C-alpha cells in the first residue's frame, strides 16, 4: 500500500478540497438560479394594446372592472402563439401547462384563454370574441389580470393568444 509523504499530500489535499467545494458552491448557485422563473419584459405591440383597451372598454360598459396588464402572462401566451403559427391552426393545446406555469410562477388561482387567427385589427378580433358565447364568458369572467400576444406568420396571417387570470 502506498502512503504519500505528508508534505506532498497536504498541498494536494488542500487543492482537492478547494476544487470540490468551489464546484459544489457553483452547482448550488446554478440550481437555485434555475428554480427562479426568468421573466423578461415583453413590450406590447400597438395591436396588443388596442386589444387590451377594447376588452377593458367592453368590461366597463357592462359594469365590470377593468383588468390590469400582467406581463408574466405574455410568456406562455407567446410560446403558444408560436406553437399555433408552427401548426398553422388555432388551438388550446397545452392550456393546462400554461395555467400550471402561471399557478407556480405568478400565484394565480384561475385562468382562461381566448385564441384566434386571421383577424387583421384589434376591433375585429375583440368583436369576434364578444360574439362567441365561450370567448365572451372569458372576457366577462371573474379575473383581475390579463395580457395578450398578437403575432404574424411568414405569410402575414395573424395569430392571437389572450390569457385571463385571477390573483388573490
| pLDDT at residue 45, as a whole number | 84
Tens of pLDDT along 50-63? Answer: 999 999 999 999 99
Q: How many Cβ atoms from other residues are within 10 Å of residue 149's Cβ?
A: 24
Residue 63 zone, left/alpha/beta (φ > 0; ψ -120 to 50; rest) = left
- Strand-by-strand arrangement of the 68-69 sheet: 68-69, 145-152, 158-166, 110-117
Kindly tell me if the per-residue pLDDT of 6 is higher than 50: no
Fold assignment, 46-166: Pathogenesis-related Protein p14a (3.40.33)
Tens of pLDDT along 119-161? Answer: 999 999 999 999 999 999 999 999 999 999 999 999 999 999 9
Distance (Å, rounded) from C-alpha 149 to C-alpha 43? 10
| This prediction's pTM | 0.75
Amino acid at each position: 500500500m502506498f502512503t504519500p509523504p505528508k508534505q506532498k499530500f497536504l498541498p494536494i489535499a488542500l487543492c482537492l478540497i478547494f476544487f470540490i467545494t468551489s464546484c459544489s458552491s457553483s452547482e448550488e448557485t446554478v440550481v437555485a438560479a434555475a428554480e427562479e422563473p426568468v421573466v423578461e419584459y415583453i413590450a406590447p405591440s400597438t395591436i396588443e394594446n388596442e386589444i387590451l383597451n377594447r376588452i377593458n372598454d367592453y368590461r366597463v360598459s357592462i359594469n365590470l372592472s377593468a383588468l390590469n396588464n400582467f406581463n408574466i402572462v405574455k410568456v406562455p401566451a407567446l410560446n403558444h402563439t408560436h406553437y399555433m403559427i408552427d401548426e398553422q391552426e388555432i388551438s388550446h393545446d397545452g392550456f393546462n401547462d400554461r395555467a400550471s406555469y402561471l399557478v407556480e410562477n405568478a400565484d394565480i388561482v384561475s385562468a382562461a384563454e381566448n385564441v384566434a387567427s386571421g383577424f387583421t385589427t384589434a376591433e375585429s378580433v375583440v368583436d369576434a370574441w364578444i360574439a362567441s358565447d365561450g370567448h365572451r364568458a372569458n372576457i366577462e369572467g371573474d379575473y383581475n389580470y390579463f395580457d395578450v400576444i398578437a403575432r404574424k406568420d411568414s405569410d402575414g396571417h395573424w395569430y392571437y393568444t389572450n390569457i385571463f387570470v385571477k390573483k388573490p
